[in-house]
Chain A
Amino acid sequence: GNSVTQMEGPVTLSEEAFLTINCTYTATGYPSLFWYVQYPGEGLQLLLKATKADDKGSNKGFEATYRKETTSFHLEKGSVQVSDSAVYFCALESGTSYGKLTFGQGTILTVHP
């Protein structure tokens, strides 16, 4: 079956620090990969996505590269801001189960001034 594993949290950083949140996956078929973000008091929002190997998704300074050889999709940002504080979810959608997202457990990020 499909599964997503994220690094344990929570993650606490100072403003302007470098961020990495690890994500690895197992999947049947050829999955598309996503990062979703849930800001306090808000719903889930798509942050970025990649649909094939070696694709790099990017948005709001965040980046993630689809690595098929290591089955990974790590999220990075060079300089985090207080406003980046949120819960981040890695997810996949397998080619054999359209419309079904499989999520990781989420990583809480807190950024201090």
Chain B
Amino acid sequence: DAGVTQSPTHLIKTRGQQVTLRCSPISGHKSVSWYQQVLGQGPQFIFQYYEKEERGRGNFPDRFSARQFPNYSSELNVNALLLGDSALYLCASSSAPGPGLYEQYFGPGTRLTVT
């Protein structure tokens, strides 16, 4: 079975531009979460979507937005890019949200570099 897939693998953007990252969850998984991992640090939670609704939001500015589609895939959008947005963006999927009940499976990530 295919795991969580993310696209693109890498991309380079210029300050002020906008970017869209894509995530396809494991088949049958209805929950998708997004994380930002800056080099040398642990991942930080950005968003969680379940059944196409936002269920959680981390401490990120409004420049960050996301959505989940009827097939449970998801997009993360970042507007007005800053140098500090350079990071590895991780997508994780699970059957449903629930404390410790449903394992979150992580994708390989999208490496975003802002110049």
Contacts and interface: CB of A to CB of B under 8 A. Distances in A.
A53 B106 CA distance: 26
Contacts of B58: 100
Interface string A71-102: 00000000000000000010101110111111
Nearest to B41: A105
A86 to B, nearest CB: 14
Contact of B100 (A32, A97, A106): A32
B108 A42 contact: yes
Interface residues of A, number: 30
Contact of A99 (B4, B94, B109): B94
A43 B99 contact: no
B104 A43 contact: no
Interface of B: 4, 31, 33, 35, 40-45, 48, 50, 55-56, 58, 90, 92, 94, 97-101, 103-109
